[in-house]
């Protein structure tokens, strides 16, 4: 074992504090990564504040972070995919059994024995796994991804969650040229969805509660923007969308959006508010519409997404912050005040 610096939350209400944790020395198939940047996902906030208590209670101290980009610093003896000094990335998962039908289908995110990057039982050291708000991490090479060399690293980190979480359902539901695609919520996930849908050739419409985000939405690749609280504007788009991606972190009415789908249109939820939704049956029945969910993506698809972003020069729009500003960043995230992802520069931790 060796020591690693990190920032942790001691309870759901504590501010972040500097700590030292143990990481395992790389075993045969492990890679040790010096973390350079780590994005801040709203899931980090839900977890730190124990908002998902009913489905995934938080074990404290909690060290979040699952949008990790860094450099390889040590290699297990059997590692073949990476060499020392390579750029490397880690997303929301660090292990799975590799043998179940889900793993065999490349859908590790559904493996019953999947290990999340943080707040999952740690098979090696006991306790729970610790994420990327830290200066280093050790991960099985099967869960380490390659970052295209042309991408800015601070902006590439959020691709590891916000990128794959939006790319995967768009591929699954056939978002292609000329499809009319809605994105609900212009936050970290939402702004990646706009960039990716635009790159896939879709006609992209953003729904926001923040009118001041209009110019940004257009710059990011949206063709139209609708302030969702304007009922008349919403009504003009009734029954017209092929696909809508809902990336909202808080409670809201999804029937309004279901009613905007055309026949056989689909609304996929990726946002994970703590409270259940109320779905009115007619919103689905009329038009044979469907409502589904999606969670991150498998490892092969995550690499496909990174390569797609490399080819289209897509990164997240980031506000780079030192790790000492975590509490402030969380408060701003709660107010939908981030353009459009915070990315922690871990150099700020090394110098502490």
What element of type H or E holds 16? strand 16-23
Name the one residue in this structure whose structure tokens are 């504090």: 17
Please pick, from the candidates 325, 336, 339, 348, the single residue that binds ligand NAP as defined by CB under 6 A: 336
**Pair 280, 305: CB distance under 8 Å:** no
Q: Which does 270 bind (CB under 5 to 8 A by kind): ligand NAP, Zn ion, none?
A: ligand NAP
Nearest distance in Å: CB 218, Zn ion:
26
DSSP state of 226: E
- Pair of tokens at residue 82: 């990476």
Instruction: Give CA separation, 273 vs 52, 68, 149, 188, 209, in Å.
Output: 9, 24, 35, 15, 16
Please pick, from the candidates 41, 111, 154, 196, the single residue that binds ligand NAP as defined by CB under 6 A: 41
Contacting range for ligand NAP; rule: CB under 6 A; set: 37-45, 131-139, 193-201, 237-245: 37-45
Q: Residue with CB nearest ligand NAP?
A: 187
Site string for ligand NAP, 205-244 (x = CB under 6 A): ---xxx--x-------------------------------
43 touches Zn ion (CB under 5 A):
yes
| Site size for ligand NAP (CB under 6 A) | 31
270 touches ligand NAP (CB under 6 A):
yes
Nearest distance in Å: CB 314, ligand NAP:
16
Contacting range for Zn ion; rule: CB under 5 A; set: 10-18, 154-162, 238-246, 278-286: 154-162
Please pick, from the candidates 333, 344, 346, 349, the single residue that binds ligand NAP as defined by CB under 6 A: 333
| Site size for Zn ion (CB under 5 A) | 3
Please pick, from the candidates 8, 115, 165, 343, the single residue that binds ligand NAP as defined by CB under 6 A: 165
CB-based contacts of 122-125 (< 8 A; 24+ apart in sequence): 123/95, 124/24, 124/27, 125/1, 125/22, 125/24
- Cα separation, 117 vs 325, in Å, equals 22
- Cα separation, 19 vs 6, in Å, equals 5
295 touches ligand NAP (CB under 6 A):
yes
**Residues pairing with 68 in the sheet:** 38, 90
Please pick, from the candidates 23, 46, 195, 289, the single residue that binds ligand NAP as defined by CB under 6 A: 46
161 touches Zn ion (CB under 5 A):
yes
- Pair of tokens at residue 266: 């689909």
Closer to Zn ion by CB, 161 or 197: give it. Answer: 161
Contacting range for ligand NAP; rule: CB under 6 A; set: 237-245, 277-285, 310-318, 333-341: 333-341
Sign for the CA dihedral angle at 318, 195, 109, 267 comes to positive
Please pick, from the candidates 48, 157, 160, 186, the single residue that binds ligand NAP as defined by CB under 6 A: 186
Contacting range for Zn ion; rule: CB under 5 A; set: 158-166, 193-201, 210-218, 327-335: 158-166
Name the one residue in this structure whose structure tokens are 């295209």: 148
3-state SS class at 157: helix
DSSP string for 278-301: P--HHHHHTTT-EEEE--S--HHH
Q: Residue with CB nearest Zn ion?
A: 41
Please pick, from the candidates 8, 43, 50, 115, the single residue that binds ligand NAP as defined by CB under 6 A: 43
188 touches ligand NAP (CB under 6 A):
yes
Please pick, from the candidates 9, 41, 144, 338, the single residue that binds Zn ion as defined by CB under 5 A: 41
349 touches ligand NAP (CB under 6 A):
no
- Cα separation, 209 vs 212, in Å, equals 9
Closer to ligand NAP by CB, 185 or 298: give it. Answer: 185
- Pair of tokens at residue 85: 């000094």
DSSP state of 155: H
3-state SS class at 49: coil
């Amino acid at each position: 074992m060796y020591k690693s610096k990190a920032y942790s939350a001691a309870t759901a209400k504590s501010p972040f504090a500097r700590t030292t944790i143990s990481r395992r020395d790389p075993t045969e198939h492990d890679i040790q990564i010096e973390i350079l940047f780590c994005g801040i996902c709203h899931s980090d906030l839900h977890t730190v504040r124990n908002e998902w208590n009913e489905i995934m209670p938080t074990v404290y101290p909690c060290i979040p972070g699952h949008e990790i980009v860094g450099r390889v610093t040590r290699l297990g003896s059997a590692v073949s995919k990476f060499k020392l000094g390579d750029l490397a990335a880690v997303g929301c998962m660090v292990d799975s059994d590799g043998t179940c039908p889900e793993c065999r289908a490349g859908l590790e995110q559904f493996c019953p024995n999947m290990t999340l990057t943080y707040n999952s039982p740690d098979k090696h050291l006991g306790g729970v796994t610790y994420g990327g708000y830290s200066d280093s991490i050790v991960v099985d090479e099967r869960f380490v991804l390659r970052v295209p060399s042309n991408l800015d690293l601070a902006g590439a980190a959020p691709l590891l969650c916000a990128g794959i979480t939006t790319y995967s359902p768009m591929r699954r539901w056939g978002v292609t040229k000329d499809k009319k695609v809605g994105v609900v919520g212009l936050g970290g996930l939402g702004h990646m969805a706009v960039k990716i849908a635009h790159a896939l050739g879709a006609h992209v419409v953003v729904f926001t509660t923040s009118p001041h985000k209009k110019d940004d939405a257009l710059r990011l690749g949206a063709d139209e923007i609708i302030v969702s609280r304007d009922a008349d504007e919403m009504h003009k788009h009734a029954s017209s969308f092929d696909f809508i991606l809902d990336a909202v972190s808080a409670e809201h009415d999804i029937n309004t959006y279901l009613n905007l789908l055309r026949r056989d249109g689909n609304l996929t939820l990726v946002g994970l508010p703590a409270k259940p939704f109320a779905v009115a049956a007619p919103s689905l029945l009329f038009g044979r519409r469907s409502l589904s969910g999606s969670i991150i993506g498998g490892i092969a698809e995550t690499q496909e997404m990174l390569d797609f972003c490399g080819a289209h020069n897509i990164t997240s729009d980031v506000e780079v912050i030192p790790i000492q500003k975590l509490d402030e960043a969380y408060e701003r995230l709660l107010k939908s005040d981030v353009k459009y992802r915070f990315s922690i520069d871990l150099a700020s931790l090394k110098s502490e």
